[in-house]
Amino acid sequence: MEPNSNTFSNEKITVTYDEKKCVLAEVCCKGLSEVFRNSVIPWIDLEGAETDKIIKQIKKCPSGALSFAYSEKLELVK
C-alpha cells in the first residue's frame, strides 16, 4: 500500500480514509471520539480504542469513506 496522509496503521489493522467520499464525519467522531477526532491532526488515532471497537465504527460509516484491512503479520520460525 502506498503511504498517504489518509492511511493509518497499527499492528492489527490499516485504516484508509477517502475524504472525497465523506459526507458525515461527525458520525465517526461522535461514535468513537477516542479514535476519530475532528480537532486534532492526525485525526485518526488507532491507539485510542480496541481494534474491534474501531472496526465496528468503521462499518457504521454512512458514506463508505472509511475502510480497513487486517495487517499481515509474518511469524518467524526458529
Q: What is the pTM of this model?
A: 0.81
Cell output for 2: 502506498
Please give the pLDDT value at position 72: 73
Residues of the chain with pLDDT under 70: 1-4, 73-78
SS3 68: strand
d(CA 66, CA 70): 14
Q: CA nearest 49: which of 30, 35, 31, 29? A: 35
pLDDT number for residue 2: 46
pLDDT, residue 67, reads 96
Query: Which one, of 8, 5, 1, lies nearest residue 58 by Cα?
Result: 8
Q: Which CATH number fits domain 7-70: 1.10.10.10, 3.40.50.720, 3.30.70.20, 2.30.110.10?
A: 3.30.70.20
Whether 64 and 24 have beta carbons less than 8 Å apart is answered as no
**Residue 40: what pLDDT?**
85
